[in-house]
Amino acid sequence: MIQPVLAKMNRLKIGDYVEVVGEMAAFCNAKIGVIDAIPVRAISVIKEFTVKLADGTLRNFFDFQLRTPPAAPAYMVYDSASSSTPGGIRGTGQSRHLRFVDQELAVDIHIKSAVCGEFQTIIGQLFMIRKAPQHAMATLISEGKTKEMIILDRAGEFRFDEVPLGSVCIEFLVPSRRISTAFEMSVSKSTA
């Protein structure tokens, strides 16, 4: 019986996306965030976590006040690198445009990448049910490694600079869900 309890207590780690649940959620402006630290207490029956919330604040929560939101992939519905649409739509012909959707959540994600030497800059916007969520976060993952985590602005806009070429995933955290987009960044695909 001790093994399952320990497994539950150690289920969260630094860098995990979490959502505040239960009565504590009513006291938080932003209910989503990322685990920033795990304070060590001399005597602790319940695990405690320091969470950086999507409004930029740091707060401590107990294990039972947090949950990991379920993950869902967003599906690519447009890629200017493989489309017959002429370049210059929503920007210059030297950039690549991608669009991802999740119909269940009514999420629409627009991504634009531009080459700058051996790196790319990614800018974009996340729309949710005809508007951006009040609080959302995004994590850039390159070749399976977390590179950067940011808080989206009130319009749902985001920017990542110096994105290396290769396999890229941007994972978004919105209330009640994690949404992932995956695509390849390469010089040959970045000219539309």
Greater pLDDT, 58 or 164: 58
Using a 10 angstrom Cβ sphere, with 0-12 exposed, 13-18 middle and 19 or more buried, the burial of residue 69 is middle
CA distances from 190 to 146, 164, 167 (A): 22, 13, 14
Question: Are the CB atoms for 112 and 95 separated by under 8 Å?
Answer: yes
How do beta strands 177-185 and 71-73 pair?
A: parallel
- Residue listed under structure tokens 């995990």: 16
Asked whether residue 8 carries a pLDDT value surpassing 70, the answer given is: no
Strand runs (DSSP E) across the chain, as ranges?
A: 17-20, 32-37, 48-53, 58-62, 66-67, 71-73, 75-79, 95-102, 107-116, 119-128, 137-142, 145-151, 157-164, 166-174, 177-185
For domain 2-67, give the CATH number: 2.30.30
Asked whether residue 40 carries a pLDDT value surpassing 90, the answer given is: no
What are the extents of the domains in the chain? 2-67, 71-185
Asked whether residue 44 carries a pLDDT value surpassing 90, the answer given is: no
Asked whether residue 20 carries a pLDDT value surpassing 80, the answer given is: yes
- Summarize pLDDT for 96-115 with one digit per residue, the tens: 899 999 877 788 999 999 87
DSSP secondary-structure letter at 85?
S
Written out in words, the top-level CATH class of the domain with range 71-185 is mainly beta
| pTM score over 0.85 | no
Question: Are the CB atoms for 100 and 76 separated by under 8 Å?
Answer: yes
Q: What pLDDT is recorded for position 98? A: 92
